[in-house]
Amino acid sequence: MAQIKHSPGLTLQFLSVLITGLALMLWIQTVDAQSCNGLSHHFYYKSCPKAQAIIKSVVEDAVRKEARMAASLLRLHFHDCFVKGCDGSILLDDTSSFTGEKTANPNKNSVRGFGVVDQIKCELEKACPGVVSCADILAVAARDSVGFSGGPFWKVLLGRRDSRSASKSGANNDIPGPNSTHQTLETKFKRQGLNVVDLVALSGAHTIGLARCSSFKARLYNQTVNGKPDPTLDTTYLKQLRAVCPQTGTDDNQTTPLDPVTPIKFDIDYYDNVVAGKGLLASDEILYSTKGSRTVGLVESYSTSTHAFFKQFAASMIKMGNINPLTGSHGEIRKNCRRMN
């Protein structure tokens, strides 16, 4: 029987086709995974083709007027998704017969940007009445806020619907606090289907924005109830923070930048600060001070590579934005983000 000889060229061509086929299969699986929860990049292409442009325009104007607003809108999306999923529940106002999430401890006198969301919704209702959800507004506004601050871009999966309920207890229990232990942070992220990589990457959102003295004051004076400051704090930074937040006789609502180096620029200085003992919140510094934890290496990695941080931050934001969305006939499309229809 004659032997069939294979030329090197044909072998390479066959391998190329095989690899391409495998890559296509993986891509299809990824698309299916992204679409299985009812979300799609193209959700409003026909029903409201200018939706993202409208959101972007309002966000751009708001951030131009007040750079801090970028962090505020990003935080709204985070606090929304960690309570019952990304369903716009954080936007609902309290009424005589309804208790929302705005007065929960992590949100009270803290979350902001509701006026910007109202403005976005107003413009969208003019263009496409009853089409774009408040939950999707938060997801796109968060992405655009990061972009206008110099951060990465990602395609937002759309099609979320708005909840007809809220959970104050969920907000109190599920949103990670500024003094959370390392284990608490991991547990609360895992509860949302997020892992340690997501924890460290999403914590990088603290590269922009401000924090109140009440969020970190204990670190400055009595971290372990022994009358001493947090030993992981850089001593020079400690003095600077004490000048902003004296132990007595000051308003604990006084704010200071989460990133004192580039407070309105989305970059890797947050991680540089944490490595140097200058993470503002205990929940920031603990990512690096917990020796032996995987978070230490991730902080070091992102502190030296903008590309690595931006790539993972975008991936983790997409993942977070997929937490338990309401789709199909579930929920509603609110006409006013502050109240149910």
Enumerate the known binding-site residues: 80, 83, 85, 87, 89, 101, 176, 206-207, 259, 262, 267
Six token digits for residue 34: 């992204």
316 three-state secondary structure: helix
79 is catalytic: yes
Six token digits for residue 198: 């997501």
Residue 162 φ then ψ, to 5°: -90, 145
Residue ranges for the known binding site for Ca(2+) are 80, 83, 85, 87, 89, 101, 207, 259, 262, 267
User: What is the C-alpha to C-alpha distance for residues 117 and 256, in angstroms, rounded to an integer?
Assistant: 25
Catalytic-role residue among 77, 79, 307, 330: 79
User: What is the C-alpha to C-alpha distance for residues 300 and 30, in angstroms, rounded to an integer?
Assistant: 29
Six token digits for residue 47: 């029903």
Task: Centre a 10 Å sphere on the Cβ of residue 301 and count the other Cβ atoms it contains.
Answer: 15
Residue ranges for the known binding site for substrate are 176
20 three-state secondary structure: helix
Residue ranges for the known binding site for heme b are 206
The strand pair at 210-212 and 255-257 is best described as antiparallel
Rounded alpha-carbon distances, angstroms, from residue 238 to 203, 270, 278, 284: 21, 16, 8, 15
Catalytic residues: 79
